Amino acid sequence: MDGKADLHMHSTYSDGALSPGDVIVKAKEAGLQTISITDHDSVGGLEETLALGKQYEIEVVPGVELSATLNDHEIHILGYFMDHHNKVLLDSLAGFREERMRRAERIVNKLNKMNIPLSMESVLANVGSDCVGRPHIANALVNEGHAEDYHQAFRKYIGDGKPAFEKKNCFSPEATVRLISDAGGLSFLAHPGKSVSEEFLIQLINAGLDGIEVVHPSHTFNLVQYYRGIVSEYCLLESGGSDFHGGKKGDDNILGQYTIPTAAVEMMRHRLFSN
């Protein structure tokens, strides 16, 4: 019988609240058979997650979530099954994390200019590893009493287009897809419903995507049907998951609710080995 797979979640190696071990325990409780921890710009937790997967008898697909710039707009690309020892991949990820650090400094500077005395130290105190993101800045803003809650921090200050927002400098979608495929992996456009019009979607498919993240909490039922149609029209693969961040954003009970059948993961493997 088909099991359930959730191929999008985060750990303390990026902006998730839980360690890979705690994520796996939750995934097991939620009845998931296959998972992928897709930390932003980091495969630092992967070795540990693969070992824990064996221990808890959960299949772990190596994963990562990368940011790319399309027409001055940030999109996210999920990489699966890549070789996480690939040198070019590891060097690029380290570079992306450095840019995240520089960008966090740019955001903190903007906040300081707005008379919000937030320090980089208080931001970094929230970071579990070496991959800083806006969620860590949001937590610091809340902890220091500058925002009432996590979501307000985004709405008031650091959400897209808000006064203290700063872009990250990212690769193009083509270069991002190539980075993943050169490391032997497959690339999927993450949560297109959040960020991508149909015109851009076709542009991205032409950039060499292997598939689309069809199932995601930000997608309505109709949107899921729509992306499933695109997947079949362009002979792409389907992915999906919860984008679980470990309860940080009120997503405590999300595991098990946004899944794809394990047969979809098998189709990814077929695509990999038939290339």
CA distance 61 to 36: 5
* Piece of 79-87, 88-96, 132-140, 221-229 that binds ligand AMP (CB under 6 A): 132-140
Q: What order of strands is seen across the sheet that includes strand 63-70? A: 63-70, 73-80, 186-189, 211-215, 237-240
Q: Cα dihedral angle (18, 77, 94, 268), rounded to 10 degrees?
A: 80
Query: Is 4 a binder of ligand AMP (CB under 6 A)?
Result: no
Name residue, tokens 């955001």. 107
For Fe ion, the binding residue among 5, 6, 15, 265 (CB under 5 A) is 15
Query: Is 159 a binder of ligand AMP (CB under 6 A)?
Result: yes
Number of residues that bind ligand AMP (CB under 6 A): 9
CA distance 137 to 153: 8
What does the DSSP assignment read for 160-223? TTSTT--PPP-B-HHHHHHHHHHTT-EEEE--HHHH--HHHHHHHHHTT--EEEEE-TT--HHH
Site for Zn ion in 175-234 (CB under 5 A): none
Name residue, tokens 């400098």. 169
Min separation Cβ 243 and Zn ion, Å: 4
* Piece of 77-85, 131-139, 140-148, 215-223 that binds ligand AMP (CB under 6 A): 131-139
Q: Is-contact 114 127, C-beta < 8 A?
A: no
Site for ligand AMP in 170-229 (CB under 6 A): none
For ligand AMP, the binding residue among 135, 192, 211, 241 (CB under 6 A) is 135
Q: Which residue's Cβ has the minimum distance to ligand AMP?
A: 133
Query: Is 243 a binder of Zn ion (CB under 5 A)?
Result: yes
Query: Is 213 a binder of Fe ion (CB under 5 A)?
Result: no
Q: At what angle do helices 134-143 and 87-113 cross, to 10 degrees?
A: 40
Query: Is 97 a binder of ligand AMP (CB under 6 A)?
Result: no
For Fe ion, the binding residue among 76, 84, 100, 216 (CB under 5 A) is 76
Min separation Cβ 196 and ligand AMP, Å: 15
CA distance 150 to 136: 10
Min separation Cβ 145 and Zn ion, Å: 28
Task: Give, in order, the Cα–Cα distances in Å from 6 to each of 133, 166, 270.
Answer: 23, 30, 19
Query: Is 258 a binder of ligand AMP (CB under 6 A)?
Result: no
Q: By CB under 6 A, name the binding residues for ligand AMP.
A: 15, 40, 133-135, 151, 154, 159, 245
Q: Which residues bind Zn ion (CB under 5 A)?
A: 65, 243
